[in-house]
Structure 1
Amino acid sequence: MSEIITEWVEPSPDEVQERILKMLAGELKLSAKQVRTTVGLLDEGNTIPFIARYRKEMTGELDEHAIRSIEERLQYLRNLETRKTEVLRLIFEQGKLTEELRLAITAAAKLQEVEDLYRPYRQKRKTRASVAKEKGLEPLAEWLMSQPPAGDPLAEAAKYIDEEKGVASAEEALQGAMDILAERIADDAAIRAWVRQHTYNHGMIVTEAKDPEMESVYEMYYAYQEPVKRLPPHRILAINRGEREDVLKVRLAVEEERILDQIVQRTLQQTSAVREILLAVIEDAYKRLIAPSIEREVRGELTERAEEHAIKVFADNLRNLLLQPPVKGHVVLGVDPAYRTGCKLAVVDDTGKVLDKGVVYPTPPHNKTAEAEQTIGAMIEKYGVETIAIGNGTASRETESFIAGLIKKLGNPKLKYIIVSEAGASVYSASKLAAEEFPDFDVAERSAVSIARRLQDPLAELVKIDPKSIGVGQYQHDVQQKRLEESLKFVVESVVNHVGVDLNTASPSLLSYVSGINGKIAKNIVKYREENGRFTNRQQLLKVPRLGAKTFEQCVGFLRIRDGDNPLDNTPIHPESYSIVDKLFEQLQISLEQLGTEELNARLREVRPEELAPKLDVGLPTLRDILESLQRPGRDPREELPPPIFSTDVLKIEDLAPGMELKGTVRNVTDFGAFVDIGLENDGLVHISQLSDRYVKHPMDVVSVGDIVTVRVLQTDLKRGRVSLTMRNL
Structure 2
Amino acid sequence: MDTEINAQVAQQLNLKIGQVSNVLTMLAEGNTVPFIARYRKERTQNLDEVAIRDIEGAAKTLNDLIARKAAVIKAITEQGALTPALSKTIQNASTMQVVEDLYLPYKQKRRTKAMIAKEQGLAPFAAWLLKLPNGDVQATAQNYVNADLPTTSEVLAGAIEIIAEQVSENAHHREWIRDLTWKQGRLESSVKNGGQELDEKGVYQQYYQFGEPLKGLNGYQILALNRGEREKVLKIDLTINSDDVLNRLRFKEIGTIKNQAGEIVDNAIQEAYKRFIGPAIEREIRTSLTTDASQQAIDVFGENLYHLLMQTPIKGQVVMGFDPGFRTGCKLAVIDANGKFLTKAVIYPHKPANAKERAAAGEKLQQLIKDYHVELIAIGNGTASRESEEFVAANISAGVHYVIVNEAGASVYSASDEARQEFPELHVEERSAVSIGRRLQDPLAELIKIDAKAIGVGQYQHDLPAKELDTTVGTVIETAVNQIGVNLNTASVALLTHISGLNKTIAQNIVTYRDENGEFALRNQLKKVPRLGPKAYEQAAGFLRIMDGKNEFDNTDIHPESYPLAKEILAAAKLSLTDLNTPAIQKLATIDSQQLAMHLNAGAATVADIIASLLKPGRDVRDDLPGVILRSDVLHIEDLKPGMELEGTVRNVTDFGAFVDLGVKHDGLVHISRMSKQRIKHPSAILAVGDVVKVWVVDIDLKRDRIGLSLLPLVQTND
Cα deviations by residue, 1:465-502 (Å, 9 ceiling, x for unpaired)? 11111111200011101111111110011011111111
Tell whether 2:351 aligns with 1:369: no
Greater Cα shift, 552-561 or 52-61: 52-61
Q: Is the 8 A contact 1:693 1:729 kept in 2?
A: no
C-alpha spacing 1:59/1:474, structure 2 compared with 1 (3 Å): same
Partner of 2:48: 63
Relative to structure 2, which stretch is displaced further, 566-575 or 653-662? Answer: 653-662
1:54-453 equivalence runs, <5 A: 54-148=39-133, 150-163=134-147, 166-211=148-193, 214-215=196-197, 216-271=202-257, 273=259, 274-366=261-353, 367=355, 368-407=357-396, 410=397, 413-453=398-438
CA distance in 2, matches of 1:185, 1:292: 14
Deviations 1:540-577 (A, max 9, x none): 11111111111111111111111111111111111111
The Cα of 1:59 is off from its aligned counterpart by: 1.7
Structure 1 distance, partners of 2:242, 2:195, is 32
User: 1:232-269, CA deviations, whole angstroms, 9 ceiling, x for partnerless residues?
Assistant: 11110111111111121111110011111222233334
TM-score, normalised to structure 1, is 0.94
Deviations 1:95-138 (A, max 9, x none): 11111211221222322111111001112211121111111222
> Aligned with 1:340: secondary structure?
coil
Within 5 Å, which residues of 2 pair with 1:428-507? 428-507=413-492
Aligned to 2:671: 687
Which has the larger displacement, 554-563 or 208-217? Answer: 208-217
Q: Within 2, Cα distance between the matches of 1:646 and 1:547?
A: 43
Could you tell me how far apart the structure 2 residues matched to 1:49 and 1:479 are? 26
Q: Give the 3-state SS of the residue equivalent to 1:529 in structure 2.
A: helix
Q: Distance in 1 between matches of 2:342 and 2:135?
A: 98
**What amino acid maps onto 2:372 in structure 1?**
Y
Q: Which residue identity is paired with 2:85?
A: E
Answer yes or no: is the 8 Å Cα contact 2:195–2:232 preserved in 1: no
Structure 2 letter corresponding to 1:406: N
Q: Give the drift of 1:272.
A: 6.1
Q: Does 1:593 align with 2:578?
A: yes
Alignment check: 8 A CA contact 1:141 1:181 kept: yes
AA aligned opposite 1:403: V
Which residue of the partner structure matches residue 652 of structure 1?
636
Aligned residues: 707
Distance 1:284 1:373 in 2: 76
> Which residue is 1:725 aligned to?
709
Alignment deviations for residues 415-467 of structure 1 (CA, whole Å, 9 cap, x no partner): 11111110110000011000000000001111111111111111111111111
Amino acid at match of 2:382: G
- How far off its partner does 1:587 sit? 2.7
d(CA) in 1 for partners of 2:282 and 2:686? 36
CA drift at 1:214: 3.7
Q: Specify which of 498, 518, 534 is matched with residue 503 of structure 2.
A: 518
- In 2, Cα distance between equivalents of 1:616 and 1:177: 81
Letter in 1 for 2:367: A
What secondary structure sits across from 1:434 in the alignment? helix
The 8 Å contact of residues 147 and 269 in structure 1, kept in 2 or not, is answered as no
Q: Report how far residue 669 of structure 1 moved.
A: 1.1
In 2, the alpha carbon distance for the partners of 1:290 and 1:475 equals 31
**SS of equivalent residue, structure 1 residue 471:** coil
Comparing 121-130 with 439-448, which one deviates more in the overlay? 121-130
The offset of 1:306, in angstroms, is 0.5
Q: Distance in 1 between matches of 2:176 and 2:701?
A: 50
User: How many angstroms apart in 2 are the aligned matches of 1:155 and 1:300?
Assistant: 46
Q: Secondary structure at 1:196's aligned position in 2?
A: helix
Once the two structures are superposed, what CA deviation does each residue of 1:369-420 show, in whole Å capped at 9, x if it has no partner? 321222222222222111111111111111111111112xx4xx32111111
Deviation per CA, 1:45-102, whole angstroms, max 9, x where unpaired?
Answer: 2111111111111122221111112222333332222221111011011111111211
Task: Say if 1:246 and 1:625 are closer, same or farther in 2 by CA, change over 3 A.
Answer: same
Q: Distance in 1 between matches of 2:17 and 2:121?
A: 54
Q: Deviating runs (4+, > 4 A) in structure 1?
A: none
User: Can you list the C-alpha shifts for 1:602-656, whole angstroms capped at 9, x where unaligned?
Assistant: 2x22222222223322222212211211111111010101221101111112222
- The answer to whether the 8 Å contact 1:676/1:683 transfers is yes
The one-letter amino acid paired with 1:635 is: R
| 1:570-602, Cα deviation, whole Å (9 max, x unpaired) | 111111111211222233332121123332222
The percentage of counterpart residues that share the same residue type is 51
8 Å contact from structure 1 (residues 212, 222) kept in 2 = no
Find the aligned partners of 2:254 and 2:26 in 1 and give their Cα distance.
54
RMSD: 1.6
Looking at structure 2, the residues matched to 431 and 349 of structure 1 have their Cα atoms a distance apart, in angstroms, of 23
TM-score (ref. length: structure 2): 0.96
Q: Distance in 2 between matches of 1:125 and 1:177?
A: 19
Task: Select 2:546's aligned residue among 561, 564, 580.
Answer: 561
Partner SS for 2:212: strand
How far apart, in 2, do the equivalents of 1:173 and 1:686 lie? 65
Say which SS state the counterpart of residue 646 (structure 1) adopts. coil
Q: Provide the C-alpha distance between the structure 2 equivalents of 1:271 and 1:340, rounded to a whole number of angstroms.
A: 82
Q: CA separation in 2, counterparts of 1:655 and 1:161?
A: 85
Match of 2:535 in 1: 550
